[in-house]
Chain A
Amino acid sequence: MSIIKTEGLTYVYGEKTPFRKVALDNVSIEINEGEMIGLIGHTGSGKSTLIQHFNGLLKPTSGKVLVDGEDFFADKKKLREVRFKVGLVFQYPEYQLFEETVEKDIAYGPKNMGLDEDEIKRRVNEAAELVGLTKEQLLKSPFELSGGQKRRAAIAGVMAMEPKALILDEPASGLDPQGRDRIFDMLKKYHTEKRNTVIVVSHSMEDIAKFADRILVMNEGKVFCFDEPPKVFGRSREIEQIGLAVPQVTRVINKLCEMGYDLGDDVYTVGYAEKQILKKLNKVQI
């Protein structure tokens, strides 16, 4: 069943001004319950505009957005419910922390949902565990945490709302490789444990390729492609042409293919590249 669905979604910035810009152009996609989606596009491709429609922060100029099959823009009361169903973590979310303690900050969303104390407590603890924050860290001021910890605390604040779909805009930007791996491991864990939909927005094909069930590539406000990773990477040359960086290993394998070594056109991880090369070598040796 689909959790988020758009039908002919179009969004225009600055209608009737000289700065008019079509940010989304007739986008129709369907995201299923429990899917792990990677959303890729360069700056200005419309990816940020798109996710802000999923929880009603932006209203379509034309077309529809359905969450759980409901057109929530038709009924204003539903708007808040939708924000609890679709949790949105912005880029650099640590800048939204404001409470005295990490615990209270994570509780802010659940409290806004009007849950009772016990339930809030349960959710805060669960979210903290998911992102790997300790009990002592929960009692600290969010401003005493390190950069990576702050980031994880802010993500926990949205996870604690237990949204059916969790959307994260560039969750690893600005972090070092270790911090980046930690965030992605945490998201994988969240996804396997909760089986909720997760949508990760990123510039980096490399990060996304490792875990996404399907990848949505946006270009100039339109859906460029929306498919499983091998199929998306099968079009890696076109993807480079629209200004996105494909993983280094994909470029290497592509070049080898051009030189006449058939290693497949859907290679996007080091492990898979290794396997393809080994297969070739072993076959040759036999």
Chain B
Amino acid sequence: MLKDITLGQYLPGTSPVHKLDPRVKLVLTVEFIVMLFCAKNMWAIGVGALFCIISFALSGVPASLMVKSLKPIVPLVLITSVLNLFFVRTGDVLWKWKVLQITTEGRDTALFMIARIVLLIIGSSLLTYTTSPIDLTDAIENLLSPLKKLKVPVHELAMMMTIALRFIPTLIEETDKIMNAQKARGSELDTGSFADKVRGMVPIFIPLFVSSFRRAEELATAMECRCYHGGEGRTRMKQLHTTYRDLIAAIYTTLFFGGIIALNVLIK
């Protein structure tokens, strides 16, 4: 059933990681990603891994979820490792068959790349596990607000994102309803062949579009009735606050960054 799809992967909680200012969390996640790309050797990557493990432990997000978040990137990891394995030609040859060969350096590069991608995903999923989509939207709007001076419609984009988040569950439910209604009229959505199923999509999408336009129109009127007139002069009920926690988090992340740079220099 479509209804079972959950949006995002936010896991409500009260851990120190949850309590961080979403803006700080976003910035630190970006810092972590930069950190990974700065790491030049396996030791430095090891420091990144340590950072991930400690942060995850602090957040209270179960390790099983961490593994689950990696599932979608398995093909990417496989392709990268295969490419690196066979196409890096420098270093001692470990194995050779016709034109294909694997070298020590190829092996090391492949492992290095895998480790980097895996950590990248784990780090960014920690952000989405511990920050609600709405907080994330607020953080993005807030961080990008200087761009308003360059005429970037930051508020409008954030508003669009909020409304999308609000209406996705409603539209999923609606799709479910329309699908059932057309099935009741004998459309072969669950009984027919693949081609039948594709043909069966038209009677779903047209009503869905029609109703979405109607919803959009009604919502626009309702927003106008509640004095909406763009982002100008708008205040927010929830103010984002940075606390000592955020400072600690920033220092903690930067220490790891320093560690990586140090290892880059020390181990050549």
Contact = CB atoms under 8 A, between A and B. Distances in A.
Q: Do chains A and B touch in the complex (CB under 8 A)?
A: yes
Most chain B C-beta atoms within 10 Å of own C-beta, residue among A76, A83, A158: A83
A98 B187 CA distance: 13
Contacts of A57: 180, 183-184
A83 B184 contact: yes
Contact of B207 (A83, A95, A113): A95
Nearest to A57: B180
Contacts of A109: 185-186
Contacts of B38: none
21 contacts: A55-B184, A79-B190, A80-B191, A83-B184, A84-B186, A87-B184, A90-B180, A90-B184, A95-B210, A96-B182, A96-B185, A97-B207, A98-B202, A108-B187, A109-B185, A109-B186, A112-B185, A112-B186, A143-B210, A157-B185, A158-B184
B123 to A, nearest CB: 29
A52 interface: yes
A38 interface: no
Contact of A98 (B183, B191, B203): B203
Nearest to A80: B191
Nearest to B203: A98
A55 B185 CA distance: 10
Contacts of B182: 96
Contact of A80 (B174, B178, B186): B186
Given A57-B184, A80-B188, A158-B185, 8 more contacts: A52-B180, A93-B181, A96-B178, A96-B185, A96-B203, A108-B185, A108-B187, A112-B185
B211 interface: yes
A88 interface: yes
B63 to A, nearest CB: 20
Interface of A: 52, 55, 57, 76, 79-80, 83-84, 87-90, 93, 95-98, 108-109, 112-113, 143, 157-158, 161
Contacts, number: 60
Contact of B211 (A95, A108, A112, A161): A95
B178 A95 contact: yes
Contacts of A108: 185, 187, 203
A88 B174 CA distance: 17
Query: Top 3 nearest A-B pairs by Cβ distance?
Result: A112-B186, A98-B206, A96-B181
Interface in B172-203: 174, 177-178, 180-188, 190-191, 202-203
A109 B185 CA distance: 5
A286 to B, nearest CB: 57
A76 B177 contact: no
A161 B180 contact: no
Most chain A C-beta atoms within 10 Å of own C-beta, residue among B181, B187, B190: B181
Given A90-B177, A90-B180, A96 B187 contact: no
Contacts of B178: 95-96
Nearest to A108: B185
Contacts of B191: 76, 79-80
B207 to A, nearest CB: 5
Given A98-B202, A98-B207, A108-B203, A161 B183 contact: no
A112 B174 CA distance: 23
Contacts of A143: 210
Contact of B186 (A52, A83, A95, A97): A83
A52 B181 CA distance: 10
Contacts of A93: 181
Interface in B154-188: 174, 177-178, 180-188
Contacts of A89: 184
Contact of A96 (B190, B202, B207): B207
Contact of B187 (A52, A76, A97, A112): A112
Contacts of B185: 83, 96, 108-109, 112, 157-158, 161
A90 B182 CA distance: 10
Interface in B209-223: 210-211
A62 to B, nearest CB: 19
